[in-house]
Structure 1
């Protein structure tokens, strides 16, 4: 019996060592990634066709205003300052679009830390967790949101086609994240195509992290 226990302890230690090396970057991956980016969300009043179309129009006009400013930013601190300094102007841009489209919705803006599920934007998939985000909430804010990343400035979209500039996205993220962090969020070379499969990928990493912590705790 003692020999069996000893074997199990050895295997647990070995497994813990493997996890400690192979998943060391996972241990703080979401947290370290979150410290390096600012997300951007435009949240629709509802999921009606009209409200979703309004959301995209607000997005278009806000990006026209803020993107040139953010492209010049070289750090998350600078981007945060630009966003805060531009907040009132952004709100006016959003409200102008809403009025022109004959709606009475109020546009609220806030830079805060929020919990988000797994989300994909082009060739980038961010794991669930807490992130700093600049949000424009239209009306009741009960509809689906459109999102991108303000820092690094990934909001390089062809507004007429709704296309993500993959090469720009890859370059900006590689300049901001470590190779291990970029590998975690990069989905361009992955066989994972469905959201459910992507979620399973991150859930596996979370389970591995918990197992390693449990082993270390024992």
Structure 2
């Protein structure tokens, strides 16, 4: 028995409709993940500590400076501050953060100069013990130890929200918290891959302080 052209045409039309519907659903899902990723990057203020050496002593200094900056940042904005307020407070109080880094280096006996800046820069995907941040451009407080040039292994953390000093969470939008803390591999991967392919790599410096010795 042969299928009639009419029956075959209906089958093809159904397949086409299902394919279009699937494409629309996938497109909507993809767009939703990118919107969540963009909101996440806008609502996050990161910390980036780097130095021009990977010696054991300099790694110790970087870790100590990271902890000092995290501790100092806890006093920069009031509880309940929104991302814009946290970013403005960080820009306004960069000298305090630089002073905390200087004092830490001095206590460790390091004579290296330090420079603190507020920048927008590209980060690769960063995984921490309890959470992960997908690749993309984020605002960050960057601490440079030593002179400009090549840098060794970096230390990262998050100043706002306080993901490095408290339980994972702190974003007003549950979708952002889920993306960072929830372990949703497919959603995370969608944001990560798109940013790896499309995000510019150059740094944009908003505010920077001169190098000063510890």
Superposition TM-score, scaled by structure 2 size: 0.71
Match of 1:32 in 2: 39
2:73 counterpart (66, 85, 94):
66
Structure 2: distance between partners of 1:63 and 1:98: 15
Larger radius of gyration: 2
Match of 2:99 in 1: 92
Match of 2:177 in 1: 182
- What is the RMSD of the two structures over their aligned residues, measured on CA atoms? 3.1
Structure 2: distance between partners of 1:124 and 1:145: 18
Runs of 5+ in structure 2 lacking a partner? Answer: 1-7, 196-214
After TM superposition, give the deviation of residue 146 of structure 1 in Å: 2.3
**Alpha-carbon displacement from aligned partner over 1:136-179 (angstroms, at most 9, x marks no partner):** 111256122222222223342xxxxxxxx32xx33x23xx2x22
Q: Is the 8 A contact 2:119 2:141 kept in 1?
A: yes
**1:39–1:207 distance in 2 versus 1, CA, 3 Å:** closer
Q: Is the 8 A contact 2:33 2:190 kept in 1?
A: no
Match of 2:57 in 1: 50
**Alpha-carbon displacement from aligned partner over 1:171-206 (angstroms, at most 9, x marks no partner):** x23xx2x2222222114xx4x8xxxxx6x8644566
More helix by share: 1
Query: Matches of residues 47-196 of structure 1 in structure 2 within 5 Å?
Result: 47-70=54-77, 72=79, 74-139=81-146, 140=148, 142-156=151-165, 165-166=166-167, 169-170=168-169, 172-173=170-171, 176=172, 178-187=173-182, 190=183
Superposition TM-score, scaled by structure 1 size: 0.70
After TM superposition, give the deviation of residue 107 of structure 1 in Å: 1.0
Structure 2: distance between partners of 1:135 and 1:205: 24
**Alpha-carbon displacement from aligned partner over 1:83-132 (angstroms, at most 9, x marks no partner):** 12211121122123223433332211111110111112332211101111
Q: How many aligned positions are there?
A: 185
